[in-house]
């Protein structure tokens, strides 16, 4: 949390500060995935990414047993690469559908079997 706060401070060069932090904090890594199109990351992480404006830095986010701090350098529209298109074709529909599943309240014969935001009942 302290690192996320310091990285989000006004005037901080995120890349430089994150790189320096990786040299002082054990098991910390820094990655810059580049342009990330919608429907290529899970809905929870996507909500964080798409919720940030250019220059924005998130608080600590837990995703798939990993703690992340997300920084958005810029927001732009661009042509998708073949790999990005393949990724969207492979998992984009499931990612899109998960957004609706997570918000759904499901009832069978009037009995609620899943509240909005809950995991489906087996």
Global confidence as pTM: 0.68
Predicted confidence (pLDDT) at residue 31 exceeds the cutoff of 80? yes
- What pLDDT does 65 receive? 80
The rounded radius of gyration (Å) of the Cα atoms in the chain is 18
Decide which of 107 and 22 is more confident. Answer: 22
Calculate mean pLDDT across residues 39-66: 86
Give per-residue pLDDT as tens, 69-114.
Answer: 999 999 988 899 998 898 888 888 888 887 777 777 778 888 877 7
Kindly state the helix (H) or strand (E) to which residue 90 belongs, with its residue range.
helix 82-103
Strands 111-114 and 106-108: antiparallel
Contact in structure between 28 and 18 (CB atoms under 8 Å): no
Helix (H) or strand (E) holding 4: helix 2-7
Three-class secondary structure of residue 46 per DSSP = helix
* First-to-last C-alpha distance (Å) of the chain: 35
Neighbouring-strand partners of residue 67: 62
pLDDT of residue 95: 80
Q: Across all residues in the chain, what is the average pLDDT?
A: 85
- In this predicted structure, what is the pLDDT of residue 119? 55
């Amino acid at each position: 949390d302290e690192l996320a706060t310091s990285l989000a401070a006004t005037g901080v060069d995120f890349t430089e500060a994150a790189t320096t932090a990786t040299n002082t904090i054990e098991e910390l890594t820094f990655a810059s995935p580049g342009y990330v199109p919608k429907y290529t990351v899970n809905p929870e992480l996507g909500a964080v990414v798409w919720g940030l404006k250019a220059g924005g830095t998130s608080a600590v986010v837990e995703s798939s047993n990993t703690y992340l701090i997300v920084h958005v350098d810029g927001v732009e529209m661009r042509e998708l690469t073949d790999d990005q298109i393949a990724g969207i074709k492979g998992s984009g529909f499931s990612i899109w559908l998960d957004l609706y599943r997570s918000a759904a309240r499901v009832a069978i014969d009037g009995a609620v079997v899943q509240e909005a935001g809950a995991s489906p009942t087996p």
